[in-house]
Chains A and B, each alone.
Chain A
Amino acid sequence: MSYLELSHVQKSFGIVKVVHDFNMSINEGEFVSFLGPSGCGKTTVLRMIAGFESVTGGTITIGGVNQNGLKPNKRNIGMVFQAYALFPNMTVAENVAFGLKVAGTSKAEIEDRVKEMLDLISLGHLADRYPYQMSGGQQQRVALARALANKPKVLLLDEPLSALDAKIRVSLREEIRLIQRKLGITTIFVTHDQEEALSISDRIVVMNAGIADQIGTPSDIYNRPATRFVAGFVGTLNILEAKVENREAATVRVAGRSINIPPANLNGAGDGAAITVALRPEALSLSKTPSSDVALDGRVTSVNFLGSVIRTRMDVEGQQVSFDMFNNPGLQPPQIGEIATAHFKASDVLVIPN
């Protein structure tokens, strides 16, 4: 039995439907990320769980209790906002204690809990500071401690790292995951950053135009995208137009070459059918390995140095193909204009359902 259940949840603002028939079951202690571009409905779903938006249709249950119609202050759901939302007139300790005071917890218990929470985020020494005296990362950790102080049933994180710089984002997301694992709290994390979602989630919901396009583990989402949108949104992808040559032999023609792909990947497409195939940049390499059985010749059009990797783009019979190679100071990267051959394994080819 799942802990948090969203069943046929819908949301409309006037005549605009922003969430269409959203269904999902989340287990207790699970860390789920809602991933998608701006306006896809991920935050709306989160706000419906928190009670800040009412559902137009469907039900939301937590631990078997229907949450529809329940006010936000009666749900016991912890929430962390993108803008920190710490009360400026209260110190760090007072912020963390706020929910406990509202709940009528005894003074001694509040003191213990505040200390425990501040120790959890390693900010015990800043208990008397005001929010304006702290950095963004510190403020967000306090917001997390405040949300956890009341021992909520579910923790909701609404793009909590978006306002932070790159280095703090990485360290804080690891800290969030560590704390979540330690407390075993059911958590929903909203983000538009695929790397964030892939790195910390048990499962990811990729949302597009108010619909959950795919729900799966990070590995499933990345390696087996269910739709063209998921394939394009999660990671970088080379999209190539192809044609089924022989359905029985599972051969397709891509960029002037015949490739054998796993028959199941054809998704029922018949001979001569136009299909879309995709290759991750890391599936291609300049050097031929024993397992690579397909080669693509093309003219190098751009070379981008990204630090640890070099991303090269080349034109293969009018189609753009990107591939990554590790930076090796001893090796000369390809030069713009030169003809290069990229190799890949046929098994790495993804057939994208149209």
Chain B
Amino acid sequence: MTAKKFWSWLAVFVAAFYFIVPLLATLEFSMRMRRGTYSFDAYRSVFADDRFASTFSYSVVMALITIVVGALLIVPTAYWVRLRMPYLRPVVEFVTLLPLVVPAIVIIFGYLRLYNSSSWLPLTNTDMGANALLVFGFMTMSLPYMYRAVDTAMRTIDVAVLTEAAESLGASWPTILFRCIFPNVLTGVLSGAFITFAIAVGEFTMPSLLNRPAFGPYLALIGANKAYEPPALAMIAFAMTWVSIILINITTRLQKGAAGAR
């Protein structure tokens, strides 16, 4: 092994150590619920709690709605900016970056001021209204990631020429968008979708202040009151993240044409 290779491998091992040791420690601690032996009691306890299933399924549904609505808003926006209004790109990029500097608590207080029970549009009066506000909040928070993922995917195809080719073949705008553009930026949409999923499932501030039965507040509650269940929940969340990454890979591989063209 040459000296260069040795240092490369050393860097890999140090990085792996840095990431793996805390995970192993969390896993180890989550299995110590039963005294004197390792067990999955903490995991059993988490899965036995009805609130886990209800809050998790609620957050998943909210996340999926956020992804669909977000994709329907962002893909046409990114497409239109790239195709017809490139001069608006700096403005759109600035707007999509705003959620990174405006904290979630500021956004949600803004919502509560605008849509409270005594406002002209009292969305917080009903569950449906509050759910809608939560989806808008998630969409805003995921905007920087979703927009960039879609925009980067669009950069890999010649949007203008593909649009003109489709137009010359008689295609209308919806056909062009959903049959020629969308399938070719699906990888980007999926990357953005999984980040959105992670944000929506783990978010605490927004659902908490909107009083929604989401997974984030449940995690905080368990963390404050129990010892072994929080690390078990952290490991479950970690496993879900890995499943998401694997799903991205599988989808990318299945999308033969678009993936190969990159």
Contacts and interface: CB of A to CB of B under 8 A. Distances in A.
Contact of A150 (B157, B162, B170, B255): B170
Given A130-B256, A150-B169, 13 more contacts: A73-B169, A76-B170, A77-B168, A85-B162, A86-B165, A87-B184, A98-B166, A99-B171, A102-B170, A132-B257, A132-B261, A143-B165, A147-B168
A86 B157 CA distance: 10
Interface string A41-58: 000000000111000000
Interface in A71-126: 71-79, 81, 83, 85-91, 98-99, 102-103
Please list the 10 inter-chain residue pairs (A to B) with the smallest Cβ-Cβ separation, ordered nearest first.
A99-B169, A88-B261, A85-B165, A132-B260, A89-B183, A79-B168, A130-B257, A72-B167, A89-B257, A85-B161
B257 A88 contact: yes
Nearest to B168: A79
A91 B157 CA distance: 16
A345 interface: no
Contact of B164 (A74, A85, A102, A132): A85
A188 to B, nearest CB: 13
Contact of B168 (A50, A88, A133): A50
A281 interface: no
B251 to A, nearest CB: 13
B170 A103 contact: yes
8 contacts: A52-B164, A79-B164, A89-B257, A98-B179, A99-B169, A130-B260, A130-B261, A150-B170
Interface of B: 157-158, 161-162, 164-172, 175, 179-180, 183-184, 255-258, 260-261
B157 A102 contact: no
Contact of A87 (B170, B180, B260): B180
A99 B165 CA distance: 10
A52 B168 CA distance: 9
Contacts of B255: 89
Nearest to A94: B257
B167, B171, B257, B260 — which one has the most chain A CB atoms within 10 A of its CB? B257
B157 A88 contact: yes
A218 interface: no
A264 B184 CA distance: 62
